[in-house]
Amino acid sequence: MSDMEKQVDTLYEYEDFEKHINLDCIQCDPDDVNVAGTPFDIIRAKMVDVTPDGKVKKQILRGGSNKIPDGAVVYLHYNKYFEMQEVPFDSSYLRNKDPQRYQVGRGSFYPGFEIAVCSMCVGEKAQFLIHHDLAFGELGSPPRIPPAATVLAVIEVFKAVDCGQIKEEESLSVTARKQFENAYKLAKSNHERANDFFSTRNVQGAVEYYRRAENLLLNCSVKSDEEETKMKYLLLKIYVNLTVCYNTERLKQPEKVCIAARKAIELDPQNAFKSAKLFYNRGLANQALCNYKLASKDFVRALKLEPNNEAINKALKTLDEKQKSYHEFEKETSRKFLGFKVEKEVDQENFDEVDEDCRLEVTDILQKFAEGTSASFQMSSGFTFAERMWIKRETERLGLIYEDSIIGGRREITVKKV
């Protein structure tokens, strides 16, 4: 077993890196028996030059579409190999299942890798041979990086976010920024950058770029229906995305959710009312603000738009539970404020606990009071909860008023006439 294999074996199980083993790095291809040389010589023969001096060469394994823009944020995976070592010395696949985020032009990788990525399209998979002058140099970094090592990099690009337009924003005059064509391009770039920030859980960064995109669109000059439609479409997306951002655990700003939702509806009511995401997020915000009736309306509207949405259905159930809990809290608070002891209501069958003699006596007393001239009277203390509930029911049946209070630590029951 080679030193590299031993190193990988201590970090990962064999099943983890088995599918990333590249036998082309250690053996000749039987289909190319006429090609002499080392394994990398055979691979090189299938490639084309990316740089004029041939220090970066490329073979496309799967085609893509849309060139990667300058300054773009790219999501990619890669494996890197040295000659005669079939196990990758560096693999983004092994570090993380999600593609690695990398911004072109920031110098995050060595020059040859940057050149390789810039030659690619979104969705493309390609392999590159990178000369040591554009990789780890003449000396390398032993023992992990051998001296003068050529690198075979197999790269797969999944997504690219165009951030290049954002750099141009500072160079534009105020007048130029107000021109719709310029403002719209910049707003789209800011919007895409915001989406990228949100995908990496940088919610505050996402909000900043959404707001920048909003300001660009609101301050530009629209000269046709087509431009207005494009502006409204992008602005609506921005406002809906802002409702999502402000609802996150990191921000928790329900008031701003409601403001963004209001802006969306005022901007384009016809399309805003088609957005389940908008009403779902406003519902969450109203729920957080204890505006339960408004939250319920929002969730119901969202559910009509997306009946099978699990998150909305779950939100409605949660809201129902919160409403019940809040109702109980309000009731208990009111009773405590008025001096009543908070107790659970008695079901009909619990009246069976009330003795028959007690029932007859209480009914007789209340009947005589109702027929008499007195305006009120107090009943003796010492009744059980079930007995008090029986008394309350009888007073209501006879059209009387039942009051139950605690004064000086002693419970008093007062019955009054209407």
Give the pLDDT of residue 405.
72
Instruction: Give the C-alpha separation, 300 to 280, whole Å.
Output: 9
- Range with the largest mean pLDDT of 149-153, 164-168, 322-326, 413-417: 149-153
The stretch 287-292 carries a mean pLDDT of: 90
**213 and 152 in one domain?**
no
Find which of 17-21, 205-209, 334-338 is predicted with most confidence, using mean pLDDT. Answer: 205-209
Kindly state whether residues 271 and 248 are assigned to the same domain: yes
Per-residue pLDDT band at 34 (split at 50, 70, 90): low
- Show the DSSP H helices in 136-224 as ranges: 164-169, 174-178, 180-199, 203-218
1: confidence class by pLDDT, cuts 50, 70, 90 = very low
pLDDT of residue 8: 45
- Classify residue 341: in a domain, yes or no: no
Is residue 343 situated within a structural domain?
A: no
Among 53-62, 142-151, 154-163, 408-417, the minimum mean pLDDT is found in: 408-417
Evaluate if residue 29 carries a pLDDT over 60. Answer: no
The 10s digit of each residue's pLDDT in 260-287 is 999 999 999 999 999 999 999 999 999 9
- Give the residue from 198, 174, 78 showing the smallest Cα distance to 127: 78
Omega within 30 of 0 (cis) for the link into 143: yes
399: left (phi over 0), alpha (psi -120 to 50) or beta: left
Does 185 share its domain with 309? yes
Residue 105 has pLDDT above 90, yes or no: no
| pLDDT in the model for residue 225 | 95
DSSP single-letter state for residue 99:
P
User: If you average pLDDT over every residue of the chain, what do you get?
Assistant: 86
Indicate whether 339 pLDDT > 80.
no
Band (pLDDT 50/70/90 cuts) for residue 320 is confident
In this structure, the answer to whether residues 292 and 249 fall within a common structural domain is yes
- Residue 339, sorted as left (phi over 0), alpha (psi -120 to 50) or beta, turns out to be left
What is the average per-residue pLDDT within 369-387? 79
Same domain, residue pair 314 and 407: no
pTM for this entry: 0.60
Q: Which of 321, 304, 303 has the alpha carbon at shortest distance from 312?
A: 303
Give me the domain span that covers residue 401: 348-417
How confident is the model at residue 380, as a pLDDT?
67
Q: How far apart are CA 144 and CA 137, in angstroms?
A: 13
Query: Which of 38-47, 94-103, 238-247, 305-314 has the least mean pLDDT?
Result: 94-103
Q: Are residues 191 and 287 in the same domain?
A: yes
Let me know if residue 339 belongs to a domain: no
CA distance 192 to 411: 67
Is the four-CA dihedral 12, 18, 20, 21 of positive or negative sign? positive
Question: Are 174 and 148 found together in one domain?
Answer: no
